[in-house]
Amino acid sequence: MGRCQGGYCETRITEMIEQELGIKPTEVRYSHADSYMFTGPVRSGNAQDETAEGSVNA
């Protein structure tokens, strides 16, 4: 893995895997059986809501 540790390309590669295999992002795994790349949402999608609640800059 490169210097960014997959921060730049991981989501793009995941999208390609999803398209090729027809699976959900939460079903994409690393090489081990129980090593899922994504387990659920990180944010609600609205950063302003999170900063207003204090969860981002707490």
Question: Is a pLDDT exceeding 60 seen at residue 13?
Answer: yes
pLDDT band at 28 (very low <50, low <70, confident <90, very high): confident
Question: Is a pLDDT exceeding 90 seen at residue 41?
Answer: no
Q: Can you give the pTM of this predicted structure?
A: 0.52
Choice between 38 and 45, residue whose per-residue pLDDT is larger = 38
Residue 27: partners with Cβ closer than 8 Å, 6 or more residues away: 36
* Cross-strand bridge partners of residue 6: none
Q: What is the pLDDT of residue 16?
A: 92
Cα–Cα nearest to 38, from 49, 27, 23: 27
Q: What is the pLDDT of residue 45?
A: 63
